[in-house]
Amino acid sequence: MASILAPDHLGPTVCVGEILVEIIATTDGDGFLEAQPLVGPFPSGAPAIFISQCGRLGGSAAMVGAVGDDDFGRVNIDRLKRDGVDVSTIAVDPDYPTGSAFVRYRKDGSRDFVYNIARSAAARFGWSQGVNDLFHRSGHLHVMGSALSVPSARDVIDRAVEIVKARGGTLSIDPNIRKELQLDQDTERRFAQLVAAADLLLPSGEELERAAGVPGEAEAIGRLFGIGVKEIVLKRGADGATYFGRDGERIDAPAFLVEEVDPTGAGDCFGGAYLTCRRLGMSPQEALIYGSAAGARNVTIRGPMEGAGTRQELDAFIASTERRV
Ligand code: ATP
Ligand code: MG
């Protein structure tokens, strides 16, 4: 069966959206109302984590976004460059600081955040000659739902979808939208259009039903294939992941048994690895193993993209780690 995703040699996978640093409280508790120990800055932002994992696995990869002219920006650019990502379309904003997220885990595992994204450099990028040239040589666009709340990212994504598809490239979407988050009508409409244009959908948990607009796992899968989606991989955290093919094929991938240190970024690493493996010609079955390994390995290390693995690291992880039965 020919892969439903454009091969790696058609051109890089491109991710568009927020680039941030994350600063993490080292103690559990409620928020940031008193001075406390923190660790960071760690390079972050869901689209950046995704593309970092693509690059580390040896996929052709590029990032569109912006950072400030500060150390937080340099931390991100240096990391992505080291991972093999083309960073030439990351703008450096002279006036605004790099976006940031402070996070502290509560005892029950939920999180408190202090964000600086909407009014930071993270939201200040747009179409440019360089971005235009990149999309005219790219093979795949990956969209994170979280980027749709950034107006500049929305515009870039709209233009990019047409260019990439016109040259035979493909589109994947990770809805990545927390269920409490209410999108305005226009964003909701754009999101639905993107879902209908997606070749690969990578939802986690309830995002599947939200993307489909109908309740029930089987109903949601049926509806999404009905509107044109070609492949769906549902992420279930420590319960693993499931591949659904248009022909009715289903593959359940058990999760690796690991001790979770920091769950942030698991879904992004899973998606980046799965997509890259598929674009490099692997079967869904093989790609699921690398995706699951990338997600699981990433939760064992503190920092949102610190645990993204190279091919060698993931092979070693797979060989030495048990899977849940
Ligand atoms: P994120 O919080 O980054 O948005 P997500 O909700 O999109 O994550 P998850 O389902 O949490 O995605 O994680 C993606 C994949 O990573 C899972 O399907 C699983 O294979 C692996 N994974 C995540 N958490 C664990 C864990 N605690 N143990 C083992 N594997 C895990
Ligand atoms: Mg997610």
Tens-digit pLDDT profile for residues 223-263: 999 999 999 999 999 999 999 999 999 999 999 999 999 99
Can you tell me the mean pLDDT for 286-305? 97
Q: Determine the atom of ligand 1 nearest the C-alpha atom of 253.
A: 20
Neighbours of 306 (CB within 10 A): 18
CA contacts within 13 A on the Cβ side of 4: 18
Picking from 192, 173, 116, 119, the residue whose alpha carbon sits closest to that of residue 151 is 119
Which distant-in-sequence residues (6+ apart) come within 8 Å of 86 by Cβ? 12, 61, 62, 63, 134
Q: Residues of the chain with pLDDT > 70: what percent?
A: 98
295 pocket-lining for ligand 1 (C-beta < 6 Å): yes
Q: What are phi and psi of 11, to 5 degrees?
A: 145, 170
258 pocket-lining for ligand 1 (C-beta < 6 Å): yes
266 pocket-lining for ligand 1 (C-beta < 6 Å): yes
240 pocket-lining for ligand 1 (C-beta < 6 Å): yes
Confidence of residue 183 (pLDDT cuts 50, 70, 90): confident
Q: What is the pLDDT of residue 133?
A: 98
Which distant-in-sequence residues (6+ apart) come within 8 Å of 319 by Cβ? none
pLDDT at position 221 over 90: yes
Alpha carbon nearest to ligand 1 atom 18, residue: 235
Residue 185 one-letter amino acid:
Q
Q: What is the pLDDT of residue 22?
A: 98
| pLDDT tens digit sequence for 98-151 | 999 999 999 998 999 999 999 999 999 999 999 999 999 999 999 999 888 888
In terms of pLDDT, which residue wins out, 164 or 2? 164
User: How far does the centroid of ligand 2 lie from the alpha carbon of residue 305, in Å?
Assistant: 14
Alpha carbon nearest to ligand 1 atom 27, residue: 238
Which distant-in-sequence residues (6+ apart) come within 8 Å of 120 by Cβ? 20, 68, 96, 97, 98, 99, 100
Q: What is the pLDDT of residue 121?
A: 97
pLDDT at position 1 over 60: no
Can you tell me the mean pLDDT for 189-205? 94
pLDDT at position 2 over 70: no
Can you tell me the mean pLDDT for 181-203? 89
